[in-house]
Chains A and B, each alone.
Chain A
Amino acid sequence: MEFFTDFFVGPIMEMVKAPEFLAEVAIAGLMSGVMYSLVGLGFVLIFKASGIFNFAQGVMVLFAALNFVGLMDSGVHPIIAFVATLVIMTLLAIAIEKLVLRHLVNQSQLILFMSTIGIAFFLEGFGELIWGGNVRPLHVGIPDDVIFIANGSILIQEADLFAGVTAAFLVTVLALGFRYTAVGRALRAVADDHQAALSVGIPLNHIWIIVWAVAGFVALVAGIMWGTKLGVQFSISIVALKALPVLILGGFTSIPGAIIGGLIIGMGEKIAEVYWGALFGGAIEEWFAYIVALIFLLFRPQGLFGDKIIDRV
Chain B
Amino acid sequence: MLYREAGDFKTSYAKDQALIPIRQDRVMLYICIAIALALPFVANDYFLGSIAIPVLIMVIAAIGLNLLLGFCGQISLGSGAFMAAGAYMAYKCATAFPWIPMPVSIILAGIATALIGLAFGLPAVRIKGFYLAVATLAAQFFLLWLFTHVPWFVNYTMSGVPTPPPATVLGVYVTGADAPNWAKYLFVLAFCAGLTWIAYNLVRSRIGRTWMAIRDMDIAAELIGIRPLWTKLTAFAISSFYCGIAGALWSFCFINTVEPTAFDINRSFQILFMVIIGGLGSILGSYFGAIFITLFPILLNSAPAWFGLEIPGNIITNLEFMIFGAMIVFFLIAEPNGLARLWQLGKEKLRLWPFPH
Contacts and interface: CB of A to CB of B under 8 A. Distances in A.
Nearest to A104: B333
A311 B321 contact: no
B320 interface: yes
B32 interface: no
Closest 3 CB pairs of A and B: A125-B321, A122-B325, A118-B328
A296 B304 CA distance: 50
Interface string A96-139: 00011001100111110111011111111110110011000000
Contacts of B142: 287, 290-291
Interface string A279-313: 01111101100110110011001000000001111
A117 B272 contact: yes
A266 B30 CA distance: 58
A100 B336 CA distance: 14
B12 interface: no
B141 A290 contact: yes
Interface string A233-270: 00000100100110010001000000000000000000
Contacts of A298: 123
Contact of A313 (B128, B134, B137, B333): B128
A121 B322 contact: yes
Contact of B134 (A103, A248, A283): A248
B47 interface: no
B131 interface: yes
20 contacts: A115-B333, A117-B272, A118-B329, A118-B332, A121-B321, A125-B323, A126-B318, A126-B322, A129-B315, A129-B322, A244-B134, A248-B134, A283-B145, A286-B141, A287-B145, A291-B142, A294-B123, A297-B135, A301-B131, A313-B126
Contacts of A311: 127-129
| Residues of A in contact with B, size category | 35 or more
- Output the residue of A281, A283, A284, A313 with the most chain B CB within 10 A: A313
B186 interface: no
A114 B123 contact: no
B263 to A, nearest CB: 15
Nearest to B228: A313
Contacts of B328: 114-115, 117-118, 121
Contacts of A129: 315, 318-319, 322
B318 A297 contact: no
Contacts of B75: 110, 113-114
B128 to A, nearest CB: 4
B124 interface: yes
B127 A297 contact: yes
B269 interface: yes
Interface of B: 69, 73, 75, 120, 123-131, 133-135, 137-138, 141-142, 145, 149-150, 218, 228-229, 232, 265, 269, 272, 276, 314-315, 317-329, 332-333, 336
Contacts of B320: 125
Given A119-B325, A241-B137, A290-B137, 5 more contacts: A117-B328, A129-B315, A290-B142, A294-B135, A313-B218
Nearest to A59: B325
A132 B131 CA distance: 34
A293 B127 CA distance: 14
B326 A122 contact: yes
A297 B134 CA distance: 10
A82 interface: no
B269 A245 contact: no
A115 B69 CA distance: 14
A286 B123 CA distance: 20
Interface of A: 53, 99-100, 103-104, 107-111, 113-115, 117-126, 128-129, 132-133, 238, 241, 244-245, 248, 252, 280-284, 286-287, 290-291, 293-294, 297-298, 301, 310-313
Nearest to B139: A290
A281 B150 contact: yes
Contact of A123 (B128, B232, B325): B325
A290 B123 contact: no
B348 to A, nearest CB: 24
Nearest to A124: B321
A128 B272 CA distance: 22
Contact of A100 (B127, B137, B317, B329): B329
Given A126-B322, A129-B318, A287-B141, A115 B149 contact: no
Contacts of A293: 134-135, 138
A294 B128 CA distance: 15
A281 B130 contact: no
Nearest to B324: A121
Given A125-B321, A283-B145, A244 B137 contact: yes
Contacts of B138: 245, 287, 290-291, 293-294
Contact of B127 (A99, A108, A117, A312): A312
A244 B325 contact: no
Contacts of A111: 332, 336
Given A115-B329, A125-B318, A293-B134, A313 B127 contact: yes
A40 to B, nearest CB: 12
A291 B146 CA distance: 13
A125 B137 CA distance: 22
A281 B149 contact: yes
- Output the residue of B315, B319, B325 with the most chain A CB within 10 A: B325
Contacts of B135: 293-294, 297
Contacts of A286: 141, 145
- Output the residue of B73, B141, B336 with the most chain A CB within 10 A: B141
Nearest to A296: B123
A43 to B, nearest CB: 11
B131 A119 contact: no
Nearest to A121: B325
B282 to A, nearest CB: 16
Contacts of B229: 313
B315 A244 contact: no
A109 B325 CA distance: 18
A291 B120 CA distance: 10
